[in-house]
Amino acid sequence: MGNISARDRNVVWHPYTPMKLWPDAIAITRGSGAWLIDEKGDRYLDAISSWWVNLHGHSHPYIAKRIAAQLTTLEHCIFAGFTHEPAVQLAERLLQVLPGDMARIFYSDNGSTAVEVAIKMAVQYWANTGQPKKRIVALENAYHGDTFGAMAVSARSTFNASFADYLFDVSFIPTPTPGEEQKSIAALEAILAKGDVAAFIAEPLIQGSAGMIMYSPDALEQLFATCRRHNTLIIADEVMTGFGRTGTLFACEHITTGPDIICLSKGLTGGFFPMGVTATTQQIFDAFYDDDKSKMLYHGHSYTANATICAAALASLDLLLADECHQSRERIIRAHQQFAATISDHKVVTNLRQTGTILAMDINSGENSYHSSIRDRMYRFFLGKKILLRPLGNILYILPPYCITDSELEKTYAAIREFLDNELATQG
C-alpha cells in the first residue's frame, strides 16, 4: 500500500463502503482515456465510467482547457439575481437536445438534488394551481438518490432501511420487465384513477442501481401515456440514462410521450464535476410565475450553476454531439452485441441484456443479494485483472466511457469470459 492509501485509512470515510471490511482504497494519482493510474503506477481500466459519470475519458484535454479558461475569467458567482454566459448557453443547448417540450432549466448540485427539485416542483405545481394532488408513484426497485426526498421515492431497501420511518409514503408499482408489462400498467391505472397523484417518477428503460433492470420502450410509452390520460405529471430520472447511454441521447427519445420534468446529472459534465439539472415545461414554470411570492420555488444551493461546471458541461456537450462520439457509441453497442452472443449459452449466465452501451447479466452462483460474496469475488477478480467493474450483487455489467477502444473492450470481455469459464468453477 502506498502513502496516500495509508493516510486515507486514518482520516477518510468512503461512500457505500463498509469501512471495517474494506479499509483499503486504491489511491489514484492520474487519469487518462479510459484508464485510472494509481500511486504505485498500476493502471486500471475504468469499465464503469467511474460510477457512470465519465463520457469521453479522464482528464480529457478539451474539457480541461475549457475549464481552465473559465477559471481565469469567472470561477463562480451567486445565481440568485445574477447570471452568466455559461449558464445561459448551457440551458439553451440542453433545451435544444432534450426530448419533450422542455422550456426551463433549473440547476442544482447532483443527481439526488435534481430529483429533490423535481419532486418539489411537481408537488408545488398542484398546490400553486389549486388542485389537491400530493401522492407520488414510483417503480418498485427504483433508485433516485440518497437525500431524503430521493430516498422516499426509491424502493425501500437495504440502502435506506435505517431511515424508513422518516420517508414519506409513496405508491410503488411493479417494474414493467418483460412479461410484467400489463401488471405494471394496470397497477398504475388503478392508483391514478383515485385522482390524487401529483407525479409518477421513473428511470426510463433501465433501473441502474437496482441491478441494471431493463424494460422496453413500449412499456415506458404505455406508462407515460397512462399518466397523461390521468393528468399526472411525469418525472423522467435520466441521471444515469442521459447523454447517450441507451443509444439515443436521452432514453425518453425512444418513445413519443414526453415527460414534464427531466432530471440530469452524471454525464452532464462529462464526469468532471458534480452538477444537477431539472428541466421542465413552460406549463410547470408558469404555475410558479406569479406576483405572489409564496408561489415561487423555494430552492437553491450555494454553488447553483457554478460557471466553471457549466463550462465543463458545454465542452462535454461539444464532444458528445460530434460525429466521432456518435460512432464510438455505435461501435460499443455492436461490440457488446457480438460479445453477448458468445456467452448467451453460458451455464451461469442468465438474463443477459443490453440497452445501448450498457451490457448486463446475472451471474447464477446461487447467491443473489446486494451483499452476496459473489459480488466481492467478482470485484476482486476484475481488480486483479486491472479492470474496474463493480457488480451490483450478482449482477455484472459494463458501462464504459465512449472513448474506450476495441482492444480495451476486448480486454474486459476476455476477463469476464475467464471469470465465467475458470474462476467461478475453481473457487468456492
> Does residue 111 touch ligand PLP according to CB under 6 A?
yes
Interface stretch with ligand PLP, choices 110-118, 192-200, 214-222, 347-355 (CB under 6 A):
110-118
Burial 339-374 (b: 16+ CB within 10 A, else e): bbeebeebebbebbbbbbbbbbbbbbeeeeebebeb
Q: Which is nearer to ligand PLP, 301 or 346 (CB)?
A: 301
Number of chain residues interacting with ligand PLP (CB under 6 A): 14
Do residues 420 and 346 lie in contact, with contact meaning Cβ atoms separated by under 8 Å? yes
16 is catalytic: yes
247 is a site residue for ligand PLP (CB under 6 A): no
**Minimum separation from the CB atom of position 239 to ligand PLP (A):** 4
Q: How far apart are CA 419 and CA 348, in angstroms?
A: 11
Q: To the nearest whole angstrom, how small is the minimum distance from the Cβ of residue 111 to ligand PLP?
A: 2
Active site residue: 266, 385, 397, 413, which one?
A: 266
Please list every residue from 202 through 221 that binds ligand PLP, using CB under 6 A.
203, 208-209
Q: How many CB atoms lie within 10 A of CB 322?
A: 12
CA distances from 243 to 206, 275, 293, 399 (A): 14, 14, 35, 13
Shortest Cβ 201–ligand PLP spacing (Å): 10
Q: Which is nearer to ligand PLP, 8 or 203 (CB)?
A: 203
d(CA 122, CA 178): 29
- Cβ 319 vs Cβ 63: under 8 Å: yes
- Is 252 among the residues that bind ligand PLP (CB under 6 A)? no
Q: Does 265 participate in binding ligand PLP (rule CB under 6 A)?
A: yes
Residues 172 and 155 sit within 8 Å (Cβ to Cβ): yes
Q: Is 250 in the site for ligand PLP (CB under 6 A)?
A: no
Interface pick for ligand PLP out of 49, 70, 112, 278 (rule CB under 6 A) = 112
Q: Which neighbouring-strand residues pair with 395?
A: 362, 392
- 254 conformational bin, left if phi > 0, alpha if psi -120 to 50, beta if neither: alpha
What residue has cell string 471490511? 21
Q: Does 116 bind ligand PLP (CB under 6 A)?
A: no
Q: How far is the CB of 112 from ligand PLP (least distance, A)?
A: 3
- The nearer residue to ligand PLP, 386 or 390, going by C-beta atoms, is 390
How far apart are CB 145 and ligand PLP at their closest, in Å?
A: 3
Residue in 252, 419, 263, 277 with CA at minimum distance from that of residue 348: 419
Question: Which of 143, 215, 397, 413 is flagged as catalytic?
Answer: 143
Cβ proximity to ligand PLP: between 162 and 294 the closer is: 162
Q: Find the catalytic residue in 38, 237, 260, 362.
A: 237
Q: What H or E segment, with its residue span, contains residue 10?
A: helix 3-11
Q: Is 271 left (phi over 0), alpha (psi -120 to 50) or beta?
A: left
Rounded distance, CA 388 to CA 36, Å?
9
176 binds ligand PLP (CB under 6 A): no
Q: Indicate if 370 belongs to the active site.
A: no
Selected binder of ligand PLP within 144, 245, 375, 377 (CB under 6 A)? 144
Instruction: Name which position in 44, 106, 125, 143 contacts ligand PLP (CB under 6 A).
Output: 143
Is-catalytic flag, 298? no
Contact 220, 206 (CB under 8 A): no
Q: Is 44 a catalytic residue?
A: no
Supply the residues annotated as catalytic: 16, 143, 237, 266
> Given the rule CB under 6 A, which residues bind ligand PLP?
110-112, 115, 143-145, 203, 208-209, 237, 239-240, 265
